[in-house]
Amino acid sequence: MKKEDLISLVDSLGRRYSELLGVDVESGEDKEIFKWFLASVLFGAPINETSVVKTYKCFEKHGVLTPRKIVETGWDGLVAILDEGSYTRYDYKTADKLLEVMGNLSTKYDGSLNLLHERASDKADLERRLEELGRGIGDVTVSIFLRELRGVWSKADPEPTPLVILAAKRLGIIREESPEKASEELKEFWARNELAGKSFINFETALLRFGRDLRRKGER
């Protein structure tokens, strides 16, 4: 991949989702990390980016941005917010998921994702603890969430999602398809071609968006 093509890719598609939503994950504050977690749950469903951003902004508008507030809003209230944000295809399922996850987060970790990270023994344990918060918190959601916490949480180092791998292979950046080996190749590529003012997160985010475009066009 030529340097100018990499620059174009990252400049056009690499804006971090947390930045797009106005969430300051780099602060490390519980409230900001939780906002990003909520957004990651929404991004975890196969729904277009525009609808997810609109739905998150509805949660923001209604002030439903803490585990306690989500639980207090209840199933009917959550469905109403999701529908307002055009998240209608997955509204019931997502309301169920949010209530289960927030209940477990509150019970097990006093509502604190930073506490969850602190208690995790390593990268694998961190990912396991996140997935154990509830049904529907799978590999993709965990990867989306942890991707933007690189450099904030010491144990945040997720493997690339299938869409990132699809894009990287299509661009000739990697040859391996297994997430573990693909992760190594992506990091090695970025170390050789790092762009000033950009991070590995920007690079991976650009690949994710490009992978979504490829998938929409039917590429595998």
* Range 72-78 average pLDDT: 97
List CB contacts of 207: < 8 A, sequence separation 6 or more.
9, 160, 163, 164, 167, 168, 171, 173, 186
pLDDT, position 1 = 85
pLDDT reading at 13 higher than 90: yes
pLDDT, position 177 = 81
Q: Model confidence over 118-169: pLDDT tens digits?
A: 999 999 999 999 999 998 899 999 999 999 999 999 999 999 999 999 999 9
Structure tokens that stand for 81 in this block: 């917010």
pLDDT reading at 36 higher than 80: yes
Closest C-alpha among 96, 120, 123, 121 to residue 41: 96
* Range 65-84 average pLDDT: 97
- Residue type for position 105: L
Instruction: State how far the Cα of 4 lies from the Cα of 19, in Å rounded to an integer.
Output: 24
pLDDT, position 174 = 94
- Residue type for position 195: L
Just give the CATH number of 17-138.
1.10.340.30
* Range 165-188 average pLDDT: 93
Instruction: State how far the Cα of 202 lies from the Cα of 200, in Å rounded to an integer.
Output: 5
Average pLDDT, the chain: 95
Among residues of the chain, what percentage have pLDDT more than 90? 89
Contact 64, 73 (CB under 8 A): yes
Q: How far apart are the first and last CA of the chain?
A: 20
Q: Model confidence over 90-116: pLDDT tens digits?
A: 999 999 999 999 999 999 999 999 999
Closest C-alpha among 171, 38, 159, 161 to residue 101: 38
pLDDT, position 220 = 62
Instruction: State how far the Cα of 57 lies from the Cα of 171, in Å rounded to an integer.
Output: 33
pLDDT reading at 219 higher than 80: no
CB-neighbour burial class of residue 127 (10 A; exposed 0-12, middle 13-18, buried 19+): buried
Domain boundaries, the chain: 3-16+160-216, 17-138
pLDDT, position 196 = 95
pLDDT, position 211 = 93
pLDDT, position 51 = 94
pLDDT, position 53 = 95
For residue 132, give the 3-state DSSP assignment.
Answer: coil
pLDDT reading at 62 higher than 70: yes
pLDDT, position 119 = 98
